[in-house]
């Protein structure tokens, strides 16, 4: 692609963004309001079901069925709250409504990560420096080796184990995300410098833990433990799901990483191209897309992080067509393909690379990736 073509590519994407922004209206407002109402009703309903199951304890199969349904409903509501609502509201996707109740400046989400820290680590660092080695802390989250460009260290031998631990405790990983652990390790900053951040996380986490593991169980009196376990299942479900969706965003086969030299003097068109090359979509039905917070449209989200997520499905085919026109690889695949290749990479890169890291030429359109996606 010539420079002129690259800028034309950028202008086409700009036009798509502007047209979508101009068309936002009452139907979009109804969508997010309905989503929020549904999520809150599910949270209430899930907790009610958990409590309603308690008298059934003498009948174990019935009890387990009822409390399980309650935990899953609560877990689904937490997934909706974190993914389709929280993440997107905090991005400012709904600020255009000028509604103080649904605004990035006031929204706090249902997990242990404080929204203000997330706005920095995710909205600012990750979305600006997507997949730039040494800048984007989302490349392996500073603990995993997800590309051969990262030098191998012996600790990576056990990365499949702490990868699994991260999946189960994902909200804690999200909470710690804004702490620059790399700089801490290198001694560039001290614990004193991150005291404020840690205090913020501690305060938020205390409230979250108190809610799910003390207050709600206490309300059940002698049935403290079953309620606590049901809440643990709900939070765990959300952790596993958000881990799986988010790891499919930038780590599947074909996703490219960049060096700081690559992005020097990057133009608007170049920035757009990097977002496409570094992000991966997951194919699926409407319910799957909503439960993924429309991060299944990771490419569209990275191109237009502040467009409302309910518009990503209609944008996706248009973006794919523009990418095809300019020969920019558009990485999409089934959930199994994207998650499978990600896991394979994490296991494979636990061992040192046999040869020097190759110059990155493989793209999502490579036949092998295609075959897997099909």
Partner 1 sequence: MAKVASIWSRLGDVASLVATPLLPSHYVQLLRPLSATHTRQARVEEIRDEAPGVKTLVLRPGRGWQLHRAGQHVRVGIAIDGRLVTRTYSISSAPERRGGCIDITVKAQGRVSNALHEVEVGAFVTLAAPSGEFVLPAALEAGAAMGEQARLLFVTGGSGITPIASMLRSLAARGAMPDVVHVHYARTAEDVIFGDELRSLAVDHPGYHLIEIHTASDRRRFEARRLAALVPDWQAREAWACGPQSLLDAIGGVYASPSHVGPDADGRPHVGRLHVERFRAALAVLPSNASGGRARFAMTATQTATDADADAATPLLQVAERAGLAPRSGCRMGICHTCDSTLVAGCVRDLRTGQTIDEPGSRVQICVCAAAGDVELAL
User: Which parts of this chain interact with partner 1 (CB under 8 A)?
Assistant: 21, 24-29, 37, 40-41, 43-44, 90-92, 95-101, 103-105, 108-110, 119-120, 123-124, 204, 207-208, 210-211, 215-216, 219, 306
Q: Which is nearer to partner 1, 33 or 353 (CB)?
A: 33
Using an 8 Å Cβ cutoff, are 40 and 2 in contact? no
Least distance CB 104 / partner 1 (angstroms): 4
* Closer of 26 and 374 to partner 1 (Cβ): 26
Q: Which residue lies nearer to partner 1 by CB, 107 or 170?
A: 107
**C-beta of 38 vs 353, nearer to partner 1:** 38
Smallest distance, partner 1 to C-beta of residue 118, A: 11
Nearer CB in complex with partner 1: 49/282? 49
Min separation Cβ 357 and partner 1, Å: 33
Please report how close the Cβ of residue 79 comes to partner 1 at its closest, in angstroms: 16
Residue 16 Cβ vs partner 1, minimum distance, rounded to whole Å: 15
Q: Which is nearer to partner 1, 19 or 44 (CB)?
A: 44
């Amino acid at each position: 692609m010539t420079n002129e073509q690259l800028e034309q590519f950028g202008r086409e994407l700009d036009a798509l963004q502007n047209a979508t922004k101009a068309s936002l209206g009452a139907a979009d407002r109804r969508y997010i309001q309905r989503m929020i109402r549904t999520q809150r009703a599910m949270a209430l309903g899930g907790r009610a079901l958990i409590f309603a199951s308690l008298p059934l304890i003498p009948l174990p199969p019935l009890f387990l069925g009822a409390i399980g349904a309650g935990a899953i409903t609560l877990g689904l509501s937490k997934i909706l709250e974190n993914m389709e609502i929280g993440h997107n509201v905090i991005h400012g996707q709904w600020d255009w409504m000028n509604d103080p109740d649904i605004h990035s400046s006031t929204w706090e989400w249902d997990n242990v990560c404080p929204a203000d820290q997330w706005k920095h680590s995710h909205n600012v660092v990750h979305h600006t420096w997507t997949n730039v080695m040494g800048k984007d802390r989302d490349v392996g989250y500073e603990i995993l080796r997800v590309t051969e460009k990262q030098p191998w260290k012996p600790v990576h031998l056990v990365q499949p184990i702490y990868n699994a631990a991260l999946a189960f405790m994902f909200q804690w990983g999200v909470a710690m995300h804004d702490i620059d652990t790399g700089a801490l390790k290198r001694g560039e900053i001290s614990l004193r410098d991150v005291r404020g951040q840690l205090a913020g996380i501690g305060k938020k986490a205390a409230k979250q833990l108190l809610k799910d593991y003390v207050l709600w169980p206490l309300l059940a009196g002698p049935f403290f433990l079953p309620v606590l376990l049901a809440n643990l299942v709900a939070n765990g479900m959300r952790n596993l799901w958000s881990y799986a969706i988010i790891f499919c965003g930038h780590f599947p086969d074909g996703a490219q990483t960049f060096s700081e030299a690559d992005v020097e003097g990057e133009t608007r068109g170049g920035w757009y191209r990097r977002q496409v090359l570094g992000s991966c979509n997951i194919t699926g039905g409407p319910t799957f897309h909503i439960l993924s917070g429309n991060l299944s449209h990771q490419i569209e989200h990275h191109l237009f992080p502040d467009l409302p997520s309910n518009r990503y499905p209609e944008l996706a085919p248009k973006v794919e067509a523009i990418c095809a026109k300019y020969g920019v690889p558009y990485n999409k695949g089934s959930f199994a393909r994207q998650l499978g290749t990600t896991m394979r990479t994490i296991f494979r890169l636990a061992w040192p690379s046999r040869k020097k890291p190759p110059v990155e030429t493989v793209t999502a359109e490579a036949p092998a990736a295609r075959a897997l996606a099909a």
